[in-house]
Structure 1
Amino acid sequence: MLFGRSTPPEQAAAVADDVPAAINDLALQALTEQALAPTAAAPDRVDAPESRPIFTELPPMTIDPSREYLATITTPRGEIVAQLRPDLAPQTVNSFVFLANEGFYDGLTWHRVIEGFMAQGGDPLGTGTGGAGYNVPAEFTNEVAFDRPGILAMARANDPNSASSQFFITTAPAAHLTGQYTVFGEVIAGQEIAEGIPLRDPMTATTPGEEIIAISIEER
């Protein structure tokens, strides 16, 4: 699944060619066996490496699904602006907005970037094995297909309900992912920034991925 181990170059080619078997068996390995049951209670913070807060429970619903939310992801090369879709994935958008407003994503990296497929970030460990400390229930839909670049979705392990803080932006069509991952937004500006993120395999990299300087949220 879209977490953890990356695909070797020859296998990534199969991913780009939209071969579902290669996706499931090679490119999208599971993050971890750990799964925390989400609840609606207010989240508690616990200490994490480098003093980054990790939360123990799904945050309470604070967004208004009838409002418009824009997320601006600031990188060293420019900004990526995404229109969030609380109408499609209210719990996911609520969690993403909560983490962004808490500064959780500030200073993290794009830890896994596969050419012609996607850029993945949001892991506090930078290895593909970290999360926010809670899981977000799946909100899969066929209403928005992975048929174009710029789809913003949650990464997860094998369990459909194992999404946490890691997310990805597609850099090419990936139709085989439709209905398998929670789509919660789409890039409306700066897709060229997303497509220019340096490639990185977290299993072999010796330096950190490109930084996510900050993610800010605008409510309209």
Structure 2
Amino acid sequence: MALVQKQEEGSVILQTSMGAITVELYWRHAPRTCANFYLLAKRGFYNGTIFHRIIPDFMIQGGDPTGTGRGGTSIYASPFPDEHHPQLRFTGAGILAMANSGPNTNGSQFFLTLAPTPFLDRKHTIFGRVKEGMGVVQRLGRVGTDAEDRPREEVKVLKAVVVPASDEQEQEQ
């Protein structure tokens, strides 16, 4: 049984307090991870969550409903395995990947890279990229932080909106 019906495969728009970020999901390379992110977004899980960790020239991290970096869950009710694909590498800014606390500990937390981070290859599941809104990601990466990389000003995902693949195809025509 498919986790997400074929017609539901698509992208996600993160409407943040600093602007919109559209992420394309790599369904063929990381289907379980994409299904998790997509369905959490569809259920409103990310709405109102903050970007709780920002490291300039490295990454911005969100997806934790507690805002602490220790919370979150998956659609599978427990952490799920990594999906490393040999063709996917942390080669630049705008890569979407799962944050984790070690191998096979994926939940709801994710991050977007601000620069190439090859030292993360095969340590975090890459499951998408920024399709639109890279300027927003870059502005997020410049938000002032404290000594623990927590933003001094609250930056939120106001709403996560799913865009089914069928809608994406209509927009491209």
Report if TM-score (shorter chain) is over 0.5.
yes
Paired position in structure 1 for 2:115: 172
SS of aligned partner of 1:156? coil
Aligned residues: 160
1:91 aligns with 2:32: yes
1:62 aligns with 2:4: yes
Could you tell me which of 117, 120, 127 is aligned with 2:61? Answer: 120
Following superposition, the deviation at residue 196 of structure 1 comes to 0.9
Q: Give the letter aligned to residue 151 of structure 1.
A: I
Could you tell me which of 81, 84, 90 is aligned with 2:22? Answer: 81
Q: Say if 1:205 and 1:175 are closer, same or farther in 2 by CA, change over 3 A.
A: closer
Q: C-alpha separation between the residues in 2 aligned to 1:207 and 1:167?
A: 20
Q: Say if 1:193 and 1:204 are closer, same or farther in 2 by CA, change over 3 A.
A: closer
- Moved segments of 4+, more than 2 Å: 199-209
Q: Give the letter aligned to residue 178 of structure 1.
A: D
Q: C-alpha separation between the residues in 2 aligned to 1:141 and 1:204?
A: 29
Q: Give the letter aligned to residue 120 of structure 1.
A: Q
1:194 aligns with 2:165: no
Q: Say if 1:162 and 1:188 are closer, same or farther in 2 by CA, change over 3 A.
A: same
Whether the 8 Å CA contact 1:111–1:200 is kept in 2: the answer is no
Paired position in structure 2 for 1:214: 159
Q: C-alpha separation between the residues in 2 aligned to 1:80 and 1:157?
A: 25
Q: Give the letter aligned to residue 62 of structure 1.
A: V
Q: Say if 1:216 and 1:202 are closer, same or farther in 2 by CA, change over 3 A.
A: farther
Q: C-alpha separation between the residues in 2 aligned to 1:157 and 1:87?
A: 25
Of stretches 205-214 and 125-134 in structure 1, the one that deviates more from structure 2 is 205-214
Paired position in structure 2 for 1:145: 89
- The alignment-based identity, stated in percent, is 34
Paired position in structure 2 for 1:135: 79
Runs (5+) with no aligned partner, structure 1 = 1-39, 41-59
Q: Say if 1:99 and 1:206 are closer, same or farther in 2 by CA, change over 3 A.
A: closer
Q: Normalising to structure 1: TM-score of the pair?
A: 0.67
SS of aligned partner of 1:126? coil
1:184 aligns with 2:132: no
Following superposition, the deviation at residue 76 of structure 1 comes to 1.7
Q: Which has the higher contact order (CA 8 A, sep 6+)?
A: 2
